[in-house]
Amino acid sequence: MTVTTTTPVSRTAPHASQRGPRWSLVRRKAAPYVFILPFLAIFAAFTIYPLVFTFRLSFTSWHGEGAARWIGWDNYTYLLSNPDFWASLATSGILWLLIVPVQVGVGLIAAVLLNSAKLKARGFYRTAFIVPFVTPLVAIAQVWIVVFDQNYGAVNSFLHLFGLPDIGWLTTTTWSKPTLALLFLWKTTGFAIIILLSGLQSIDTSLYEAASLDGASRIRQLWSITVPLIRRTIMFLVVLQTLAVFQMFAEPYVVTKGGPYGSTTTAGLYLYNHISVADLGTGAANSFLLVVILMTLSLFFVRLLRARD
């Protein structure tokens, strides 16, 4: 945006500042600084300062008491050579695979159906879909413990109705990740549907009419018109959910405590575990490794989008 003086106009304007155009230009230059000041103060005190502190901490060995000992890159080399660190990333990676493609797929189908003007009861469905999104995570995570209990849980009782055997949802390494993924999917897919819906609403419907006349099937239309046109929205969702999945902490913390056998120790929970045993230097280094990984992943998705443009 270019700053232009409005001298001739503001002189004739009835409400113009009495101190003249020069003064209004000064105010206009100063305005953005004033506007961001409250945000900047809070951001500096509770985000930037802690961040710098953490960065320094990542090069030290410190257990919360006494002086921190400078150890250079030791925390980083320790983590990078530690199989548990890689296992936590792998766990988050597997959860990502179980969550993001499913969410985008199911969310897209639901959003397309909800976007159709012909569908009855659209508002009703929309309302129902957003319900999980407004439930408190801790409350629902606790319900997960109860519902997926191997011996007393409602899910296994339901399976019994069909003669299916008990499944150790939260007690076996095979099922613990899918069960956790299910919690995440349940909680956030409604939000994904809303985001995708907002992308769909910006598409010109005449494109579909033309495609229908050309005899393109609904599935063909979805793949050839809808997906390319809202790929920005889809990418936005993918980036947002990638960040959320790799930062996932409260879910495994409440539901599985990272078990069984570390199978649900996500990158976020692994990081927390250093902190909970006051190994603060390692925790800080772990944070920065995670930030680098997440930024790389985000940039990768953005590049992917640019490449298609």
Segment 205 to 264, residues that bind another protein, using CB under 8 A: 218, 229-233, 236, 243, 246-247, 249-250, 254-255, 257
**Rule CB under 8 A: is residue 181 a binding residue for another protein?**
no
In this structure, what DSSP letter does residue 235 have? H
27 Cβ neighbours under 8 A, 6+ residues apart: 17
User: Are the CB atoms for 244 and 185 separated by under 8 Å?
Assistant: no
Tell me the closest approach of the beta carbon of residue 118 to another protein, in angstroms: 7
Which residues, 6+ apart, have CB-to-CB distance to 19 below 8 Å?
none
Candidate list 65, 81, 118, 163; residue touching another protein; CB under 8 A: 118
Alpha carbon distances (Å) from 74 to 81, 120, 257, 274, 304 = 11, 62, 28, 15, 34
Binds another protein (CB under 8 A): choice among 7, 19, 20, 27: 27
Q: Check if the beta carbon of residue 196 is closer than 8 Å to that of residue 111.
A: yes
Stretch that binds another protein, among 11-19, 72-80, 83-91, 172-180 (CB under 8 A): 11-19
- In the chain, the amino acid numbered 112 is V
Among 68, 71, 87, 140, binds another protein (CB under 8 A): 140
Q: Does 305 bind another protein (CB under 8 A)?
A: no
Residue list 77-116, contact with another protein (CB under 8 A): 106, 109-110, 113-114, 116
Chain positions 44 to 63 lying near another protein, rule: CB under 8 A, are 45-51, 53-54, 57
Stretches 30-38, 82-90, 95-103, 206-214: which one binds another protein (CB under 8 A)?
Answer: 30-38
Cα–Cα distance measured from residue 31 to residue 29, given in angstroms and rounded to the nearest whole number: 6
Q: Which is nearer to another protein, 51 or 210 (CB)?
A: 51
- What's the angle, vertex CA 231, arms to CA 227 and CA 233, rounded to 5? 115
Nearer to another protein, 87 or 250 (CB): 250
Q: With binding defined as CB under 8 A, does residue 119 bind another protein?
A: yes
CA distance 305 to 224: 16
Number of residues that bind another protein (CB under 8 A): 117
Q: Cis peptide before 101, with omega less than 30 degrees from 0?
A: no
Question: Among 59, 104, 272, 282, which residue interacts with another protein (rule: CB under 8 A)?
Answer: 272
